Amino acid sequence: MSLHLPGEPGRHQSGGATVEFAVILPLLVMLSLGTADLGRAYWLETRLSGAARGGATFAQYYPSQVSAGAGCPDPQNVVYAAQHDEGASNGFTVSVFNASSGGTPMGGCNTATVGPGTYVTVVTSARFEMVTPFLSLLVPTGRTLSARSEVVVQG
């Protein structure tokens, strides 16, 4: 007969910690991956905001140079400025609107006459895919995140 000291695990308790760990491990993994997804979403939102501001800054001084075309080739347009805000192409979708005329979409190069005092809005967007299993079942996967920046055209 063996004697067990108080606080020392007996034969009937030897696998309890392993079972508890096996039950808790999936929850810890989901919590960790969920935190990583939240961080990735925040990082993307920050990048989208920066790109919208970069495009809006360009639009503030060159509002009619919206997208590539004759007269405003690729670094000289709003879409390029927003898509290359960080240097390399970020793959964001960029839309430009004349906010003063009710949100009319703007496009092309030197096609729209936009005078000083006009409000121009630049919207950037990108799809966000979650990596957390099971959590992506609760939250629709492939959500589109977007950011907008509005400026007043300078004269």
pLDDT in tens, 60-91: 999 989 998 877 888 999 999 999 998 888 98
Domain annotation covers residue 2 = no
Domain annotation covers residue 4 = no
Of residues 20 and 5, more confidently modeled = 20
Q: Is 85 helix (H, G, I), strand (E, B) or coil?
A: coil
Return the exposure string of 24-58: e unless at least 16 CB atoms fall within 10 Å of the residue's CB, then b: eeeeeeeeebbeebeeeeeebeebbbbbbbbbbbb
Q: Please give the backbone phi and psi of residue 12, each rounded to the nearest 5 degrees, phi first.
A: -75, -10
Domain annotation covers residue 73 = yes
For residue 111, what are the domain limits? 15-152
**The pLDDT of residue 119:** 95
Domain annotation covers residue 143 = yes
User: Is the pTM here over 0.75, yes or no?
Assistant: yes
Of residues 119 and 30, more confidently modeled = 119
**The pLDDT of residue 45:** 95
Domain annotation covers residue 88 = yes
Tell the residue number behind the tokens 């508890």, with chain if given: 20
Domain total for the chain? 1
Domain annotation covers residue 116 = yes
Domain annotation covers residue 3 = no
Domain annotation covers residue 115 = yes
Mean pLDDT of 48-59: 96
**The pLDDT of residue 62:** 92
